[in-house]
Structures are given as C-alpha cells and as structure tokens.
Amino acid sequence: MGGDVGTRHAKRVHQDRPSFTSPAPPGGTRVIGLGNLMRGDDGVGVRVTQMLMSKDLPHGVQVVDGGTRGLGLVSLMEGWQRVILVDAADVGRAPGRFVRFTPQETQLLGKDLHLSAHEAGLRDALLLAEALNLLPEEIVIYGVQPASLDWEDRLSPQVEATIPVLVDSILDELQADTAEGSASNTLANEQEEGNHGE
C-alpha cells in the first residue's frame, strides 16, 4: 500500500513539472529564452526566463528555457498562438541594448540574416516552421546585443544590467495583453446582456 501512495505522489510531482510538450491553452503565449549559459552573453535568453519564472505571470502564459535547440525550436513553438523569443543577437546596438521586433518588421523570413548566436539560427527555425505550417500566429523577438560570446559562465556587466529592464518590458507586454483581453470579454458580455434585454 505504501508503494501505491509513493507512486501516486511521484505521478503528481511529474505532472506539476513544466514540460516542453505540454498542450498550449487557447490563445496562449509561450516565452522561450534561447542560449548557452557557458558562452558569456549568449546565456541572456536563459537568464531572462529564469527571472520570469519567479514572477506572477498572467493566465495562459508559459515560460521555458529553450537552450540551444536550433531547429528543435519548431516543436517548442508548435500549437501556441503567440511566442516571445529572447536571444543574444547582433542588432547593431551598444552591448546590453535590446530591440523588440517581429519577423515581418525586419523581413526576417526573406533575408539572409542570422540574428541568433547559434549554429542553427532563429531564421532557420522560423523558415522550417513556416514550411511545416507550424508558425505561431504572432511572434515577438527580443534581441539583446552581446558584448562577449567567449566560453565563460557569466554575462558581461552591460548585459547583466539590462536583464531586469528586459524582464519588465516583457511583463508589461504580457499584462497589457491580459488587460486588453479582459476589456474585450467585458464588452462582449455587456453586448450579450443587452441583446437579452431587447
């Protein structure tokens, strides 16, 4: 009997653990941090997700550490309505500065650009997702200009300093979307009640 209790407990713990393959909720947003913590500023995306995981996130938002998955990023995006990607990237700014953009804004899918510091870049993964018809309805990319991609287990001071600012920017975006959704639901409910009253 004790074994049964232990088994049930193990199953419950396993179910509560975040999973890359967990189903996307309707209208859900997944925030994916990319990078390698052992390559200096390349670890910024992972560090951002670590900080986000400690925050009180809106309903329907999931944060995952995507590491250096390359083309495996496609499976992390599959099924989600919106995906926010955070990665070290050459965005032509001073080290530590970040840029928010969408693939459409930079024509990322149509140019020979590799905005990721990894071997299989962001562009490659997005092109594959598009070809497989798995591209999320909305993609937002936060690219952070690195100062160093040397083999070391810490970020540069410039990139370290920008993490709280970047996390706040992402939280503001997520909370603004939640507020807009609530306003839309309220309006829809009021209209429905008005129709019943006629």
- CATH for 24-192 is 3.40.50.1450
Instruction: Give the per-residue pLDDT at 20.
Output: 52
Where b means 16+ CB within 10 Å and e means fewer, 96-118 reads bebbebebeebebeeeeebbbbb
Q: Is the pLDDT of residue 68 over 70?
A: yes
Q: Which tokens belong to 160?
A: 């370290």
Among 33-47, 48-62, 78-92, 107-121, the minimum mean pLDDT is found in: 107-121
Domain limits, the chain: 24-192
Q: Which two tokens stand for residue 123?
A: 């562009």
Residue 179 pLDDT more than 80? no
pLDDT, residue 69, reads 77
Query: What pLDDT, in 10s, does the model give residues 132-166?
Result: 888 899 999 999 999 999 999 999 999 999 999 99
Please tell me whether residue 129 adopts helix, strand or coil conformation.
helix
Positive/negative CA dihedral, 87, 174, 25, 101: negative
Which residue type does 163 have?
I
pLDDT of residue 73: 87
Q: Which has more pLDDT, 198 or 61?
A: 61
pLDDT at 64: 95
Q: Which pTM value belongs to this model?
A: 0.75
Alpha-carbon distance 83 to 28, whole Å?
9
**Average pLDDT value for residue range 123-133:** 82
